[in-house]
Amino acid sequence: MGNQPVGQLLLAIFDRLMARYGPQYWWPAQEPFEVIVGAVLTQSAAWVNVERAIARMRTAGVLSPQAIRAISESELARLIYPSGYYNTKAKKLKALALWLGVNYADDLDRLFDNEIGRLRCQLLDIYGIGPETADSIILYAADKPIFVIDAYTRRIIDRVGLTPASESYGSYQSLFMDNLPADVRLFNEYHALLVSLAKDACRKRPLCRQCCLNDICRYSLTNCLSTR
């Protein structure tokens, strides 16, 4: 990697990922509130299981804040059972729907009219919404430029050799936001592409030889390619 500026390296990584995996068309949802629900349900869950839970909610007519408020918590938990931690997630969805009704009369456009900092602070005040979930809502539902950090992103960044001085969520996020253009489409695709890389090659036990970053990744150069 030499002395290549961080921004150039991050863009080079993005270009390689795009060339390998192509556009990811993420987030897969029919409307913004479904994105919000998915952002909660995907906590500690595989997306395929989240899709099952959302499909059950849709069939039951419970994919709206009003319907979530009206349904019992136990019935909501039953519907979202495939996503795991269903009792806790039912409480989170209930809290979110109540907050949205009280503060914004279920008007997502009005909620999303807030600037990013204020919107993020409000979301983080809701029970069950942490930084990753809040940022997923901001990027994928509100269509505002913020970079989502998850375990996959941390793993890849650490292995490439770009670990920030502080290992906080905010430090990883700043690595991207301070060195890339604040562009919704770029942040959207980049995050989704990192997820694809983590599932395909940069696994817990990495498959470095099939990774499109192997010649610029510190872990690969030290532990994999050097043994050829």
Q: How many residues does the chain have?
A: 228
Radius of gyration of the chain (CA): 19
What residue numbers bound the domain in which 155 lies?
A: 6-24+148-227
The rounded percent of the chain whose pLDDT value lies above 70 is 97
Label residues 115-126 b or e (16+ Cβ within 10 Å = b): eeeebbebbeeb
**Based on the domain organization, do 37 and 73 belong to the same domain?**
yes
Handedness of CA 171, 203, 52, 27 (dihedral sign): positive
Does 162 lie in the same domain as 101? Answer: no
15 is a domain residue: yes
Domain assignment present for residue 40? The answer is: yes
Give tens-digit pLDDT for 3-60.
679 999 999 999 999 999 999 988 878 899 999 999 999 999 999 999 999 999 999 9
The Cα–Cα gap between 94 and 195 comes to 28
Are residue 208 and residue 136 in the same domain, yes or no?
Answer: no
Same domain, 67 and 131: yes
Provide the pLDDT confidence category of residue 226 given band limits of 50, 70 and 90.
Answer: low
Give the residue from 228, 148, 216 showing the smallest Cα distance to 188.
Answer: 148
Write the pLDDT tens digit of every residue in 111-137. 999 999 999 999 999 999 999 999 999
pLDDT digits (tens, 9 = 90+) for 64-122: 999 999 999 999 999 999 999 999 999 999 999 999 999 999 999 999 999 999 999 99
Contact residues for 102 (Cβ-Cβ < 8 A; gap 6+): none
